[in-house]
Structure 1
Amino acid sequence: MWRRCLPRISLRCLHWGLSLLAALNAGTVLAATYNFGGGNVAGCPLSSGTYTCNSFPLGSNNDKMSIADGFKVVVKESVSFDFNQSLTMSGTATLSVTGNLSIADISPNNLSINGGNLVSTGAFTIGNQAQTIAANISAFSMTLGSGSRTSITGNVTASNSISIGSHATIKGAVSGSTINTSSPVSITGDITATSSFTLASGSTVTGNIVAPTVSLLPSDSSVTGNITARTSLRLGSSVSVTGDVSTGNLILDSSNAIVTGNATVDTATLNWAGRVTKTIYCTGGTTNGKCDCVTNNSGFDVNTVNGPHCSPPAPALDHFLIVHDGSASACTPEPVTVRACANAACTSYFTGGVNVTLQPGGGSFAIGSTGVSTNATVSQQSVGSAAVRASASSIAAAAPSQCINTSNGAGAGTGSVQCGMNFDGKVGLSLSIPDQYAANNTKLLLTAAVADPSGTQCKPAFPGANQPIQFSCSYSNPNSGSLPVMVSANSDGSSLAALNASTTGAQLCDGSARTFSVAFPNVSTLAGSAATLIMNYADVGKLTLKAATTVNGVIPNTTADVVVAPASYAITTFPATTTAAIPFNVVATARNSLGNPTPNFGKENANPAIQPETLSFALGALGTVSCSLTPGVLGSLGIVDRSVAAGAVTGKLSYTEAGAINVQVQQASIYYLGGSVPRPATVQTSAAAGCGAIRSVPAWFLVHEGRVGSGLANFYYAGEPIDVVVTAKNAAGNTTLLYDKNYGYSNPVLFTAFDAAGATAIPAATGSLSGTGASAAAPLTAGAFTLGTAELKKTTAPPLAFSFASAPRAPMKVRLRATEAASGGVSSANAAAYGVTAEDSFEARSGRVSFGSSFGSAAGDLALPVTLQYWTGASWIRNVDDSEALHPLPTTAFAIQAGTLPAKPGIVATGLKDGGLLLTKGQGSLTLRAAGGAGTALVAINLGNTAADSSCLAGSRPVTGGANMPYLRGPNGICTGTAAAAADPAARATFGVFAPEARRLIHTREVFN
């Protein structure tokens, strides 16, 4: 109104202005409603259903806009609605903006879009409030939602980026350049991104996704639909895709990322528990039985139940070829063969799997990876002719379907001669046999139908009559058998008879027919007119049954295939104990419902779609919670070889880890021979107690002595604690991480001292080990092992040490051996069988600390020599291999007694390092300074771990911190007798007294004549 009053001032406008002013003074702005429904709107001329506005018509913050069905509003500037403004649209209404369009701030109560289109040449924004609309949206870029619950029903299209906020719901197709989502969102519709698509955690997509790069972020997101990602596709932890995927590089992150479908890839990386449940098609090809394009870190081996299965890429679908004989009964489905052809000549087949719909009849049939279906039928419940044709909705064929009519020898083509099918009014038989488990009594349904005199509908051919029917059987896959097919005309299964010439259970299918009197129900309509027989086959495989009868000299017949699958599996043989990474055998037997072996299992014929049936082996669940394996140390169960005989599959397996395990066996294919009954439940080796039925033990121990490879001299003094690391290894030389206190290991490990060659144990009369692991009284318990490794440090109580039986003794080489205390237990000596030396050796020496007395000035420093020595067999010599790095003597270990001095002397800093005595090549000196006056001080080195030293000096000395090296005690000149061997070294420091050779000389001249 205000804009209309601007050109001129009239009484009416003045009145309106005064009213507006009054309203403003009262705090209220009058709202204007702009109805775009065919009437005039100021500033927005109407032409052919389109209103064109040079500027946004809503001038006040509470104005209203309403666009009716069939009308379009074009605004030639950016538009941003306020919270109190309103927008109403319905039907095909359109709001088109040159520039940015934002409806994000409209109050949900003021927004009513129940149909139509929102168009922006710039950025479109919705969802600062919890807004719900139904409209198609197109813009240059979009921001859909900002954390509120935004709901859009309609297609969303942007030429640039789309940002979808958390809690947004979109029901429609989404397309743009870069499409990103926040957590969580829900999209029901196809997604197309020309650059990339990212799905946040907790989100769902129901629809197909096409983008060069697709990232499905962890965790708990799901996609139901197919994904095409030309460059890469990444599934985060616990993300699932139910559908097929096609990408350059597929990555399934740890853990439990899963594609329930096929994957066509250049390369794929399957991390922990990552799975592609169907086939991975390697675009670059793959070696038969391998997955050359896959980096498999899933923990499931290739071609196992949960592991990857790979094939070269499937060829494209060119056309369908229908093979038939040109005639059929109008009242019985007519079997035909349908081939999915990969080229015009149909010399190769499309193996990607497709559902085909056949006419007449409209039946839908699956063509699997063989590319051929022999179970398809056409039907027409009226007499006459029709053209047979095929089509598929999921995959487009390049050319129309073709036919081969085998009755007239016509070649493949699309004309009436090749594709014509004549449906006559004669009796037709139809046989229906459900797939079944071996040795189960299964209902076999036989229908006999005939056209009524009008030829327009069908009725039962033998209502209430007993009709002689001839049944015969043949083996299809494998093409031979060892057990007969049994059939009974009685619905209770009594009087089963074999389908062979002798009609005995001792004979097999031989093509001979057996006649049964079949009772057909007395009904007037085809519904419920099928006769019920019973079939039983105690073996497995694919069979073909044929039923025929004679009616007025004509012999109508029908055939049906049936897949008979194993009813169960049993693991019949497995070892109680095996060695990690050494192959062992597990034997599993396929059985029928009676628990008897099915000898045909494993003899099935191979074809491009179905490999010879076998069983896969994997790690099974463990028996107790406390022994459950963690993903990081689960180990790998590999299949080294597989063989089958009489229905028993022998898996030559190799387990990389130590631990008590169950082996799980499962039918490799989900449906045996492509049938319809699911495979039986998995079977595991069972354990009455403990973690599993098979105990896998390490192959050998690696014994690593701590100074080997450290750069330090590799010797130990007799009685000195030894640093040792023991690691359990498998036959391949890898650490068995599950040799661990948490996984059921209880056998202690003991050490034995051997000579340097490792051939002879050192006799007790020469020397022996003591401490932890040295005897059954103090073994290295299984509790000491963590992830396959146990460490003995000097601080271990009691520490492992080697001592001579009598000392001192000349040096000798000692080799450490670690062996499980159990009978036949793991030993480091076993490594020799694998070409490995696994035992470190060291030199044992009798050692002592020599501490020398000294004389000196009462006013100067006095150095007392300290020497680390060992016994050569003839004398004590300085151990030039030693230093403070190996045997530090802390200054706190020196106990100083004042003796005849006024006070005990102090230790001078010279010659000290890090609070200890500096020793170089086994030698150093303790420097003292007298507290004043002349006299003698007594000094002992406390090599023990008690507060007081054990030297032979008289009197008492201050409490010290011992050096904790009692093995360096020995005769040093102060002590005499037997006590000398266990005494701490001691010396005297004499101040103010000189040795004669150190006295000053007074020079006097002597004259010689």
Structure 2
Amino acid sequence: DVRVYNGAVTTADVADLYADTHPCAATLDHLEIRMSNTAGLTCAPSTLTLVACKDAACTGNFTDGVSGTLTATGPGMSVSWPSGAAFTIPAGSSSTTVNMQLTTAGSVLVGSSGLTPSATSATTCNFGSPQCTFSAAAAALRFDVPNHVSETSNVISVQAVGSSGGTCNSAFASSSRNINFKCSYTNPGTGTRPVRVAGAALNSGNNNALACDGTGRTVTLAFDASGLASTTVQYADVGKMVLSATYTGSAGPGDSGLTMTGSDTFIAAPASFGFSGITSGPIRAGSAFSATLDARNLAGATTPNFARETPPESVVLAFSRYQPTGTGASNGNFSGNLGAFTSGSASATDLTWSEVGTIDLNASLASANYLGSGFTASGSTGSTGAVGRFIPHHFDLAATAACGSF
């Protein structure tokens, strides 16, 4: 930006130039393609959500508008785009949806081409192994586990669907089937608690204190006349999980050779934060005191996977003054930091408050949106001044010389 003046600039002109700014144009880092299910059916379209991202982690949205075309390629695969593969994310928005249907059973690699404006990084997906791989089958088990607060009991419907002549039909109507359910960890990538389906822990020992494993647990589901069965899903820890289901046919019901699978991802968020181990009063004003914080589920149990996410979730500490409340009472200065979380707990040993009286401690999820689930969490010691009493650190005495003589 070059400006030419035909005379000397004034002090006011210099101040205006100093304050003048030009906003930098936003840059599209990449396009992210999202799906709630990693597999589809050949008889029904699947919905892809396209998100324009300003950064690699997609924590910021690009809203200047994006257009392009989706691609889906795989040997011998036939792909239908009911509304076309071209898409536009209008200015002022950061996402749109496109329907895609694989009309033959198999897998494709989903991507994008011709992005305008160009992205600085390659298109990414939240599904597939390898990433962006999408599969469809002629028959599948379909269910949806919603994002929820940890240890909430979620009632889900499981539907057995088959394809006949390109039409989706319910299977297993008015009958019972043994379905094997398994769970796995996505973010964080490991854990120590299992998902539970119909109260059964999805590991070989049916043990609530052991992790998910490759064995899972077989649950008998009763399907109604519409081919729907209900069951419950619970998870006592936090994080992003995958629940998968498999049915293997047998001679008894006359479906030997039939295999049906299905899966869904969900996020379980902490319900609250709880304090313990707080230094007992009296505490001298300005002196360090301690407290321990736990991330907890709906039942009040500690969630050991909290803060093991990538990137890790964190907690903001604050305080509220309870006493004194009189005119001129000061909030003083509060400071201190939590140490690293281990098994869902973290301690602070350097907390200080510069005033006298009593306070309460407060904790809140720093992101206010656990792993993008829409859930947040908070906690406090209450509203009755549970911390303290804080007393003066010391008194200073000053001597003043007397006038006259004795």
> What pairs up with 1:183-222 in 2 under 5 angstroms?
none
Residues 358 and 586 (structure 1 numbering): CA distance in 2 closer, same or farther, change over 3 Å?
farther
Measure, in 2, the Cα distance between the counterparts of 1:535 and 1:483.
13
Measure, in 2, the Cα distance between the counterparts of 1:472 and 1:465.
22
> What pairs up with 1:749-788 in 2 under 5 angstroms?
none
Pick from 260, 267, 275 the counterpart of residue 571 of structure 1: 275
Q: Is the 8 A contact 2:107 2:134 kept in 1?
A: no
Residues 319 and 497 (structure 1 numbering): CA distance in 2 closer, same or farther, change over 3 Å?
closer
Pick from 148, 156, 159 the counterpart of residue 444 of structure 1: 156
Pick from 156, 180, 183 the counterpart of residue 473 of structure 1: 183
Q: Deviations over 1:863-890 (max 9, x none)?
A: xxxxxxxxxxxxxxxxxxxxxxxxxxxx
CA positional deviation for 1:480: 1.9
* Helix, strand or coil at the partner of 2:264: strand
Q: Is the 8 A contact 1:571 1:685 kept in 2?
A: no
Q: Is the 8 A contact 1:333 1:430 kept in 2?
A: no
Residues 678 and 666 (structure 1 numbering): CA distance in 2 closer, same or farther, change over 3 Å?
closer
1:561 matched to 2:262: no
CA positional deviation for 1:432: 0.8
Residues 436 and 616 (structure 1 numbering): CA distance in 2 closer, same or farther, change over 3 Å?
same
CA positional deviation for 1:336: 5.5
Q: Is the 8 A contact 1:439 1:536 kept in 2?
A: yes
Pick from 304, 313, 320 the counterpart of residue 620 of structure 1: 320
Pick from 383, 402, 406 the counterpart of residue 716 of structure 1: 402
Residues 543 and 410 (structure 1 numbering): CA distance in 2 closer, same or farther, change over 3 Å?
closer
Pick from 543, 550, 570 the counterpart of residue 241 of structure 2: 543
Q: Is the 8 A contact 2:145 2:264 kept in 1?
A: yes
TM-score under structure 2 length normalisation: 0.68
Pick from 508, 513, 519 the counterpart of residue 216 of structure 2: 513
Equivalent position amino acid for 2:305 in 1 = N
Residues 716 and 568 (structure 1 numbering): CA distance in 2 closer, same or farther, change over 3 Å?
same
Q: Is the 8 A contact 1:619 1:637 kept in 2?
A: yes
Q: Is the 8 A contact 2:68 2:114 kept in 1?
A: no
Measure, in 2, the Cα distance between the counterparts of 1:516 and 1:437.
24
Q: Is the 8 A contact 1:545 1:559 kept in 2?
A: yes
Q: Is the 8 A contact 1:322 1:389 kept in 2?
A: no
Aligned match of 1:580: 285
Residues 327 and 635 (structure 1 numbering): CA distance in 2 closer, same or farther, change over 3 Å?
closer
Q: Deviations over 1:258-309 (max 9, x none)?
A: xxxxxxx99xxxxxxxxxxxxxxxx8xxxxxxxxxxxxxxxxxxxxxxxxxx
Pick from 25, 28, 34 the counterpart of residue 317 of structure 1: 28
1:590 matched to 2:288: no
Aligned match of 2:193: 483
CA positional deviation for 1:613: 2.4
1:695 matched to 2:389: yes
Aligned match of 2:204: 501
Equivalent position amino acid for 1:595 in 2 = G
* Helix, strand or coil at the partner of 1:657: coil
Measure, in 1, the Cα distance between the counterparts of 2:382 and 2:191.
30
* Helix, strand or coil at the partner of 1:562: strand
Residues 548 and 693 (structure 1 numbering): CA distance in 2 closer, same or farther, change over 3 Å?
same
Q: Deviations over 1:776-808 (max 9, x none)?
A: xxxxxxxxxxxxxxxxxxxxxxxxxxxxxxxxx
Residues 649 and 358 (structure 1 numbering): CA distance in 2 closer, same or farther, change over 3 Å?
farther
Look at both structures and tell me which one has the larger radius of gyration over its CA atoms: 1
Aligned match of 1:779: none
Q: Deviations over 1:456-475 (max 9, x none)?
A: x5342332222332211012
CA positional deviation for 1:545: 0.9
Residues 391 and 471 (structure 1 numbering): CA distance in 2 closer, same or farther, change over 3 Å?
farther
Q: Is the 8 A contact 2:151 2:235 kept in 1?
A: yes
CA positional deviation for 1:570: 2.2
Measure, in 1, the Cα distance between the counterparts of 2:68 and 2:163.
20
Q: Is the 8 A contact 1:614 1:649 kept in 2?
A: no
CA positional deviation for 1:329: 1.3
Measure, in 1, the Cα distance between the counterparts of 2:39 and 2:212.
29
Measure, in 2, the Cα distance between the counterparts of 1:638 and 1:554.
63
CA positional deviation for 1:647: 1.9
Aligned match of 2:9: none
Residues 613 and 339 (structure 1 numbering): CA distance in 2 closer, same or farther, change over 3 Å?
same
1:385 matched to 2:95: no
Measure, in 1, the Cα distance between the counterparts of 2:184 and 2:178.
20
CA positional deviation for 1:692: 5.2
Residues 508 and 628 (structure 1 numbering): CA distance in 2 closer, same or farther, change over 3 Å?
farther
Measure, in 2, the Cα distance between the counterparts of 1:430 and 1:640.
45
Measure, in 1, the Cα distance between the counterparts of 2:89 and 2:196.
38
Aligned match of 1:647: 344
CA positional deviation for 1:498: 1.5
Equivalent position amino acid for 1:511 in 2 = G
Q: Highest relative contact order (Cα 8 Å, sep 6+), 1 or 2?
A: 2
Measure, in 1, the Cα distance between the counterparts of 2:244 and 2:68.
25
Q: Is the 8 A contact 1:550 1:556 kept in 2?
A: yes
Q: Is the 8 A contact 1:617 1:664 kept in 2?
A: yes
Aligned match of 2:173: 463
Equivalent position amino acid for 2:319 in 1 = L
1:432 matched to 2:144: yes
Q: Which residues of structure 1 form unaligned runs of 5+?
A: 1-212, 214-230, 233-247, 249-264, 267-282, 284-313, 361-382, 489-495, 524-528, 607-611, 707-714, 718-844, 848-1009
Measure, in 2, the Cα distance between the counterparts of 1:326 and 1:479.
18
Equivalent position amino acid for 1:644 in 2 = F
Measure, in 1, the Cα distance between the counterparts of 2:67 and 2:247.
28
Q: Is the 8 A contact 1:669 1:679 kept in 2?
A: no
Q: Which residues of structure 2 form unaligned runs of 5+?
A: 1-15, 70-77, 116-122, 124-132, 250-254
Q: Deviations over 1:57-100 (max 9, x none)?
A: xxxxxxxxxxxxxxxxxxxxxxxxxxxxxxxxxxxxxxxxxxxx
Equivalent position amino acid for 1:508 in 2 = A
- Work out the number of aligned pairs and report it: 346
Residues 323 and 477 (structure 1 numbering): CA distance in 2 closer, same or farther, change over 3 Å?
closer
Residues 424 and 674 (structure 1 numbering): CA distance in 2 closer, same or farther, change over 3 Å?
closer
CA positional deviation for 1:663: 1.7
* Helix, strand or coil at the partner of 1:544: strand
Residues 423 and 485 (structure 1 numbering): CA distance in 2 closer, same or farther, change over 3 Å?
closer
1:666 matched to 2:347: no
Measure, in 2, the Cα distance between the counterparts of 1:422 and 1:595.
38
CA positional deviation for 1:602: 2.7
Q: Is the 8 A contact 2:138 2:162 kept in 1?
A: yes
Measure, in 1, the Cα distance between the counterparts of 2:298 and 2:158.
25
CA positional deviation for 1:702: 3.5
Q: Deviations over 1:908-952 (max 9, x none)?
A: xxxxxxxxxxxxxxxxxxxxxxxxxxxxxxxxxxxxxxxxxxxxx
Equivalent position amino acid for 2:389 in 1 = R
Q: Is the 8 A contact 1:385 1:422 kept in 2?
A: no
Pick from 684, 692, 699 the counterpart of residue 381 of structure 2: 684
Residues 638 and 544 (structure 1 numbering): CA distance in 2 closer, same or farther, change over 3 Å?
same
> What pairs up with 1:171-320 in 2 under 5 angstroms?
316-317=27-28, 320=31
Q: Is the 8 A contact 2:108 2:135 kept in 1?
A: no
Residues 541 and 637 (structure 1 numbering): CA distance in 2 closer, same or farther, change over 3 Å?
same
Residues 534 and 675 (structure 1 numbering): CA distance in 2 closer, same or farther, change over 3 Å?
same
* Helix, strand or coil at the partner of 2:340: strand
CA positional deviation for 1:695: 2.3
Q: Is the 8 A contact 1:315 1:352 kept in 2?
A: no
Pick from 610, 613, 636 the counterpart of residue 333 of structure 2: 636
CA positional deviation for 1:333: 5.9
CA positional deviation for 1:499: 1.0
Q: Is the 8 A contact 1:431 1:547 kept in 2?
A: no
* Helix, strand or coil at the partner of 2:141: strand
Measure, in 2, the Cα distance between the counterparts of 1:697 and 1:584.
13
Identity of aligned residues (%): 26
Aligned match of 2:119: none
Q: Is the 8 A contact 2:187 2:240 kept in 1?
A: yes
* Helix, strand or coil at the partner of 1:458: strand
Measure, in 1, the Cα distance between the counterparts of 2:39 and 2:313.
37
Measure, in 2, the Cα distance between the counterparts of 1:394 and 1:592.
40
Residues 550 and 474 (structure 1 numbering): CA distance in 2 closer, same or farther, change over 3 Å?
same
